[in-house]
Amino acid sequence: MNPTISMIMFSSLAAGTIITMTSYHWLLAWIGLEINTLSIIPIISTTHHPRSTEAATKYFLTQAAASALILFSSMVNAWETGTWDITQLSSMPSHVLLTAALAMKLGLVPMHFWLPEVLQGSTLMTALIITTWQKLAPMTLIYLTINSLSTTILLLMGLTST
């Protein structure tokens, strides 16, 4: 990959994570997650091999579905509470949808089947980025909403993932 394009992709990857980590508005957090997803796709498919193209497609579809669930969860919460603040998550359907979406984004046990296949189709450096850097933004959202989410379910998903 061209060094200029590489620099643009990695800087947009960092920008998406920073936008999500510093936002207290659901729409900004969602935009940051989408920037993250769209910037890693070319990095996954740098090697022109059918496995990397398949991995990029699986990653995109999974992350897009999880982002849509996050956006739907925030819309349900905004409908019931009248606020788009991340820390004011008080609707029970929003809790369930957000937990499922973040578990999908993180590759936790009930929704983890995409992660090994994506990692097999990518290079070692890309797999390292997917398993570390790409998890920072969803973990920040869990940290911001930890008072509203079910701690038991999160611990159970974490334990079964290990």
Question: Model-level pTM?
Answer: 0.93
Tell me the C-alpha distance between 24 and 32, whole Å.
12
Mean pLDDT to the nearest integer, 60-86: 94
pLDDT tens-digit series, residues 2-31: 899 999 999 999 999 999 999 999 999 999
* Count of domains observed in the chain: 1
Identify the residue whose tokens are 């933004």. 137
Tell me the C-alpha distance between 48 and 80, whole Å.
47
Q: Which tokens belong to 129? A: 């980025």
8-state DSSP, 137: H
Tell me the C-alpha distance between 109 and 154, whole Å.
11
Residue 91: the pLDDT is 86
What's at 148, amino acid-wise? S
Tell me the C-alpha distance between 156 and 94, whole Å.
19
Range of the domain at 99: 3-160
The answer, yes or no, to whether residue 1 has pLDDT greater than 90, is no
Of 60, 39, 40, 57, residue with least CA distance to 49: 57
Q: How far apart are the first and last CA of the chain?
A: 35
Tell me the C-alpha to C-alpha distance, in Å, between residue 154 and each of 9, 20, 100, 135, 143. Answer: 32, 20, 10, 15, 11
